[in-house]
Amino acid sequence: MRVKSKKFHFTGHALFEMKRRGITKEEVIKILSSPDQTIEVGAGRVILQSLIKRGDPLQTYLLRVFVDIDRQPAEIITTYLTSKIDKYWSENHESNL
């Protein structure tokens, strides 16, 4: 499944959580434009996710962006970082790798 929308709207909840979690709009926009994986989780909702490196020393995290694609523009619902990559990464999902 590919996300067809080129336009996205950040919900208030998403912006609040991004600020609280230290996730930048630039990081999210990068995932939106070229996710490593796209996972359909329900009618009209997908998770776009990619591996990113952050911190000092650099560590690998998975940035997950939840998007409702059944509206125009598509809405970013929430986003978070996790170090539990094996829990969420799947070779069965569409990947750009």
For residue 37, list its beta bridge partners. 49, 95
CA dist 70 and 55 (Å) reads: 35
Looking at residue 3, what is its pLDDT? 59
Looking at residue 19, what is its pLDDT? 97
The residue extents of the domains of the chain are 8-89
Looking at residue 90, what is its pLDDT? 80
CA dist 42 and 54 (Å) reads: 30
Is the pLDDT at 26 greater than 70, yes or no?
Answer: yes
How does pLDDT run across 27-46, given as a tens digit for each residue? 999 999 999 999 999 899 99
**Model-level pTM?**
0.86
Own/partner contacts of 58-64, CB < 8 Å, gap of 24 or more, are 59/83, 60/85, 61/85, 62/88, 62/89, 63/23, 63/27, 63/28, 63/31, 64/88
28 in helix, strand or coil? helix
How does pLDDT run across 52-87, given as a tens digit for each residue? 999 899 999 999 999 999 999 999 999 999 999 999
